[in-house]
Amino acid sequence: MPRTARIQRKTNETDIDLQLNLDGSGQAQIDTGVGFFDHMLTLLAKHGALDLTVKAVGDLHVDQHHTVEDVGICFGQALKQALGDKAGIRRYGHFTLPMEETLATVALDLSGRYYLVFEAAFPTPKIGDFDSELVEDFWQAMAANCLCNLHVLVHHSRNSHHIGEAIFKATARALRMAVEPDPRMPGVPSSKGTLTS
């Protein structure tokens, strides 16, 4: 059964069409109108071994917040939909990733419950013309809509671009681990018997 999803979301602030294949090969077609964000989503697909297509038109004349947050909402919803009842997956994932001077650890649990811990300090408010705080906003929206526990910790760093990149890559690798089939546990990986709430 293909683990795919398509989410279309249209509001007065954004118009988004997002397609996801959890069993892809890292192919990405990304167009959000936000250059750094497009770069991060491309890395997310590559390192998560996901096929990801995102077309987003947002109110960039206001700022980038609505576009980034709403893509995070759609990505979280797509993950939740593609995973179904989560039978046969590993459920947990973690990865520690070096990005030159930056070291980031991400751990996640596809638990059916939302919680975000985000401990990353950006030394600059902007990465190019991208607001650094939007990195956290994207992952908050994803976790809240996927219903997962997501812990992000940057141990040490200097460069804001590297921090953002390390977080996206480490989360992609952790997610890749969590959604992988577990041949030793074909059912739902929970003593409760469900991971839907």
> What pLDDT digit, counting tens, does each position of 125-142 carry?
999 999 999 999 999 999
Q: Does the residue 137 lie in any domain?
A: yes
Q: Does the residue 140 lie in any domain?
A: yes
Spatial separation of the C-alpha atoms in residues 158 and 102, rounded to whole Å: 7
Q: What is the pLDDT of residue 53?
A: 98
Coil, strand or helix: which one is 91? coil
Q: Does the residue 194 lie in any domain?
A: no
Q: Does the residue 193 lie in any domain?
A: no
Q: Does the residue 189 lie in any domain?
A: no
- Say how many C-beta atoms besides its own lie within 10 A of residue 1's C-beta: 4
Contacts of residue 168, defined as CB under 8 A and 6 or more positions apart, other chains included, come to: 40, 41, 43, 44, 47, 135
- Place 195 in a pLDDT band, splitting at 50, 70 and 90: low
How many domains does the structure of the chain reveal?
1
pLDDT at residue 190 greater than cutoff 60: no
pLDDT at residue 191 greater than cutoff 80: no
Q: What is the DSSP string of 106-154?
A: EEEE--SS-EEEEE---SSSEETTEETTHHHHHHHHHHHHHT-EEEEEE
Q: Does the residue 187 lie in any domain?
A: no
Instruction: State pLDDT tens for residues 31-52.
Output: 999 999 999 999 999 999 999 9
Contacts of residue 107, defined as CB under 8 A and 6 or more positions apart, other chains included, come to: 92, 93, 94, 150, 151, 174
User: pTM for this structure?
Assistant: 0.94
pLDDT at residue 153 greater than cutoff 90: yes
Tell me the CATH number at 164.
3.30.230.40
Spatial separation of the C-alpha atoms in residues 95 and 41, rounded to whole Å: 18
Q: Does the residue 161 lie in any domain?
A: yes
pLDDT at residue 189 greater than cutoff 60: no
Q: Does the residue 108 lie in any domain?
A: yes
In contact, 104 and 95? CB cutoff 8 Å: no
Range of the domain at 41: 4-179
In contact, 149 and 109? CB cutoff 8 Å: yes
